[in-house]
């Protein structure tokens, strides 16, 4: 049988589970209402080694493989706040992997290590008001000026955006080349001309902060260019797979919790003198939902196994086959989650529509998965190209 988790993984699992259930979950209602969680959560996660478990020791991590990140994403949803999970995963699996992959030793020291320790908060700045899944449409420009770059533009829907100390930001350095004229920069948020335009209100994921950013003549030194100039599209496509894969894992973990809640409710709730769980319709529906989640886990595990082997064993860029499979998993799991959460809410009846029940929160939170990290429609188009259609 496929058993990727060692005893060390399971020790780490207990650490993350205790953190989620004992230190985060008791504050769920409070942080959801505040629409932000405390900065201290990043520092605490860093102290426990949760943020950097799957990074090499020389990059500020614990030297584990990618299955440590899977454990983290499986257990954090126990905090009952998808927004808080998202904020932490942006820190460890979306805004920082590209620094670990291509950052200079100086960039690792200044940005990556403090981020993995929870001492600096990171955000990923890709999406713009006029460009989301189609990164070729971004309009933020970075122009050389001697030994510096000057950045002008805006970013939107940026998780951790109101409080990030730096942004891993995508900008065009050769606008005429479209997507192949983009570069990555590490942009400290204390630079003159950088501003948080506004904090955005969202349908779900309330406990995370989401911001619109504005850059006007923001000057950064050349040493903050991440990787090679004009090569960011290639880096971004690799980075996107990390984002999509970790989204699959955490989403499936959320589905497990929702199904457990639905079964508990169905056992306790009687309709016309009989528990819901004894009604044949709901028995069949729950069996189907559990089966679909298991199928999602199997596909995701296959993707993680390939990702872990290529990146951590072979230490090479992801193959087109792995990129295709990860994109397929993201499409499948995001669509699956919508159905699971909707049916779990339906089982709860009117109670499921009430905010006091966590299925209500889970239902609205999961909707982002079909949009974030590339919309399902864009991914299907991308997969078709990889398949030669």
For residue 143 the two structure tokens come to 């122009």
Q: Are residues 31 and 144 in the same domain?
A: no
Secondary-structure breakdown of the chain: helix, strand, coil percentages, each rounded to the nearest 5: 60, 15, 25
Indicate whether 178 belongs to any domain: yes
Domain assignment present for 340: yes
Task: Provide the 10 A C-beta neighbour count for residue 388.
Answer: 5
Q: What is the pLDDT of residues 237-285, one digit of tens each?
A: 999 999 999 999 999 999 999 999 999 999 999 999 999 999 999 999 9
The token pair at 221 is 């030194």
132: pLDDT strictly greater than 80: no
Q: Are residues 244 and 382 in the same domain?
A: yes
- What is the per-residue pLDDT for 89? 98
Give how many domains the chain has, as a whole number: 3
Whole-angstrom distance, CA of residue 155 vs CA of residue 190: 16
Domain coverage including residue 33 = 7-121
Do 280 and 193 have their domain in common?
A: no
CB 382 within 8 A of CB 179: no
Mark which of 175, 210, 226 sits at the end of a domain: 226
- Structure tokens of 226? 């991440």
Give residue 130's pLDDT.
87
Residue 85 lies in a domain: yes
Give CA–CA dist 233/211, Å, rounded: 23
Catalytic residues: 243
Q: Please identify, among 226, 248, 264, the residue that sits at the C-terminal boundary of a domain.
A: 226
Instruction: Let me know whether 113 and 133 are in one domain.
Output: no
Length of the chain measured in residues: 389
Note whether 263 and 283 are within 8 A (CB).
no
End-to-end CA distance of the chain: 35
Whether the per-residue pLDDT at 2 is higher than 90: the answer is no
Over residues 346-350, mean pLDDT = 97
2 domain residue, yes or no: no
What is residue 135's predicted lDDT score, i.e. its pLDDT? 80
Tell which residue, 173, 116, 166, 171, has the closest CA to residue 143.
173
In a domain, 1, yes or no: no
Q: What number is the average pLDDT over the span 2-27?
A: 96
Which CATH number do you get for residue 152? 2.40.110.10
Please check whether residues 189 and 236 belong to one and the same domain.
no
- What distance lies between CA 109 and its chain's CA centroid? 23
CATH assignment of the domain containing 111: 1.10.540.10
**Does 1 score more than 70 pLDDT?**
no
**Percent of the chain's residues with pLDDT above 90:** 95
pLDDT of residue 41: 98
173 lies in some domain: yes
SS3 (DSSP) at 314: coil
Do residue 81 and residue 175 come from a single domain? Answer: no
Looking at the fold, whether 251 and 275 belong to one and the same domain comes out as yes
Is residue 243 domain-shared with residue 371, that is, in the same domain?
yes
Contact 286, 297 (CB under 8 A): no
Mean pLDDT of 312-320: 94
Q: Please check whether residue 54 is in contact with residue 64, taking contact to mean a CB–CB distance below 8 angstroms.
A: yes
Do 96 and 215 have their domain in common? Answer: no
The backbone region for 108, taken as left when phi is positive above 0, alpha when psi lies in -120 to 50, beta otherwise, is alpha
Q: Is the pLDDT score of 42 beyond 70?
A: yes
Domain finish residue from 121, 140, 167 = 121
| Domain match, 117 and 131 both | no
**Contacts with 8 (C-beta within 8 Å, 6 or more apart), sequence order:** 64
């Amino acid at each position: 049988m496929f058993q990727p988790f060692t005893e060390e993984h399971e020790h780490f699992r207990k650490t993350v589970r205790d953190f989620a259930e004992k230190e985060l979950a008791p504050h769920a209602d409070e942080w959801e209402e505040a629409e932000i969680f405390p900065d201290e959560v990043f520092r605490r996660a860093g102290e426990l080694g949760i943020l950097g478990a799957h990074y090499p020791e020389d990059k500020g991590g614990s030297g584990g493989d990618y299955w440590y990140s899977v454990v983290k994403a499986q257990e954090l949803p126990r905090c009952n706040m998808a927004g808080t999970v998202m904020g932490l995963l942006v820190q460890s699996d979306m805004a920082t992997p590209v620094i670990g992959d291509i950052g200079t030793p100086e960039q690792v020291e200044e940005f990556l290590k403090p981020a993995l320790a929870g001492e600096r908060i990171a955000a990923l700045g890709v999406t713009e008001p006029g460009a989301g899944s189609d990164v070729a449409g971004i309009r933020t420009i970075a122009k050389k000026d001697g030994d510096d770059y000057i950045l002008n533009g805006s970013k939107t829907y940026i998780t951790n955006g109101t409080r990030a100390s730096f942004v891993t930001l995508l900008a065009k350095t050769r606008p005429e080349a479209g997507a192949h004229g983009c570069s990555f920069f590490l942009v400290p948020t204390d630079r003159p001309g950088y501003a948080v335009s506004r904090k955005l209100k969202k349908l779900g994921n309330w406990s995370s902060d989401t911001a619109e950013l504005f850059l006007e003549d923001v000057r950064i030194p050349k040493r903050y260019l991440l990787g090679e100039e004009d090569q960011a599209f290639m880096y971004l496509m690799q980075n996107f797979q990390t984002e999509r894969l970790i989204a699959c894992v955490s989403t499936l973990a959320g589905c497990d919790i929702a199904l457990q809640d639905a079964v508990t409710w169905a056992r306790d709730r009687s309709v016309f003198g009989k528990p819901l769980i004894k009604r044949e319709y709901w028995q069949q529906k729950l069996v189907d939902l559990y089966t679909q989640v298991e199928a999602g886990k199997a596909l995701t595990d296959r993707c993680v196994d390939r990702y872990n082997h290529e990146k951590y064993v072979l230490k090479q860029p992801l193959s087109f086959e792995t990129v295709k499979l990860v994109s397929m998993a993201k499409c499948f799991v995001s669509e699956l989650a919508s159905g699971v959460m909707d049916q779990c809410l339906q089982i709860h009846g009117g109670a499921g529509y009430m905010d006091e029940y966590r299925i209500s929160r889970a239902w609205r939170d999961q909707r982002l998965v079909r949009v974030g990290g590339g919309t399902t429609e864009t991914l299907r188009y991308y997969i078709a190209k990889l398949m030669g259609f």
